[in-house]
Structure 1
Amino acid sequence: MAVYASLAEIVVNEPKYWGSWKGRVVKAIAIDGARTWNEVRDQTGLSPKSLNRVLAELFNAEAIEKHGEGEYRIAYELYREYKEFDDAGCVSTVSKPVLVTENEQRNLVSWIDSWRESMGLDFSLQPEHFYLDGDNLNNFSIKLIENAKKEVLVVNPFVDQCSLSDTLWKAASSGTQIMLVTRPPADRYDDVKERKEKFLTYLEDKGVKAIRNPRVHAKLIVVDRAVAVVSSMNFQSSSSGGSSWEAGLVTKNDMVVESIVDSILALEERPENI
């Protein structure tokens, strides 16, 4: 169990389930005000099947209960753990609830068909995963972020100004919640390092939440907790612009996307565990 120093320098223990889907469901109910099944689903972005599984596990553990009006309540001791964690200022460092609806997620998945047709590509979506490379991967990634309604999660070690990275500040400026996990800017040339630092600061000024973690090397994009891209492509022109050949897989499978989201959110919630 991790131990946190609060804003008031009071040491508080990490609450049970923190950094997992069960913990996010508990937080949604105990801290963020979700009461009904629909409110919990919208705040977590979980598929109905996955949410029901998490709720069942919490019921079995006697961590939650359901009241007559169909509203959820957290067991007192568990509620107190989360409330103390929140009062100590530890929860405020975590991004706000996503509030993405099932309809918004379905619309994003349906958009893939129109993108495929516009690009003249022929691949099946029946396996719920497909492969892209080169310009198609870059174009899809840009258009995917541009079509975000509520949230974009990105993990990428190398970020510099380019058409792909520009989509992040543009989306943030339109009200989409953006979280970027990246390495602290570095380069053997001081002027290049300074340019990268300035661009990352620019992203933050535009509303992007940037988390600096020197150990990340994964390249991940998730939009509205519905579609994910796992690829070799970096957010810099030498990679996304075609100087190097990049490739990756796109998935709309609920379980796979939720696993990727789980890993990304854990980088924010429990960065010491990477």
Structure 2
Amino acid sequence: MIPPSFDYIAPASVDEAVRRLADGGEEAKVLAGGQSLMPLLRLRLSFPELVVDVGRIPELRGVREDGDTLVIGAMTTHHTVVHDPLVRRYAGLLAEVTATVADPAVRHRGTLGGSLAHADPAGDVPAAVLALDAELVAQGPAGRRSIPAAEFFTDYLQSTLSPDELLVEVRVPKLSADWGFHYEKFHRVAQAWAIVGVAAAVRRDNGRIAEARIGLTNMGPTPLRARAAESALAGAQATADAVGRAASLAAEGTSPGSDLSASPEYRAHLATVLTRRAVLAAADTGR
């Protein structure tokens, strides 16, 4: 289908982009990699009057260190995230999760910030930034503000971003060498959306799990943390039985939906199975 007509602007700086978004108000949309917005436009599910293309703003791309934190520009492509040596060293879970996004063509065009701002609970990347305790930095007319990942997603395809704000970077605390990680994703066919996904980061200490962080994909209207399972894992032995008991709590507090792929009950079952697998794999590696 042919998209509806709209005005188009490609600002050269973040400040200019924010001004344009403020001028456009709720009728303006940000174009990042385009992998989410363009299908919505072509299907006429979105009718913006103004599209602000941020793809030509160099300061929104790249990965750098800031003390104990990795700073990843919002326009950094999935491909770059997967292969960047800093991400692979200090935030390997994000690289592993991002490598499962769609296909190579999408990963070369899609961006980290675009995926997060789209706020799709079936997307892979949001679960990873939750498990990594990342912070998302937005810039608006009043300046910059930092939003914990746990507070960023508010409802289905909705985030705490205001219409005049632009997501500019993602700040990820570095994982030390005693953390292991793993992503388990169950989907019908390759490159499809996850029916359920589990992103796990685990820190071991003397054969026990000292700390676990677990992000859930497609278990509610927003990406979620499996808090009950995390609490049960703290201090538990890193054994199949102990991890299995904790994983049985993975779906607690979630509200999975029903569609042609799975019922809520099936998704809850998958969450427990995949959490067990992801935690055991993460606990068995010191990557």
Q: TM above 0.5, one fold?
A: no
TM-score (norm 1): 0.25
- Higher helix proportion (structure 1 or 2): 1
TM-score (norm 2): 0.25
- Could you say which structure has the greater relative contact order, defined with CA pairs below 8 angstroms and 6 or more residues apart? 1
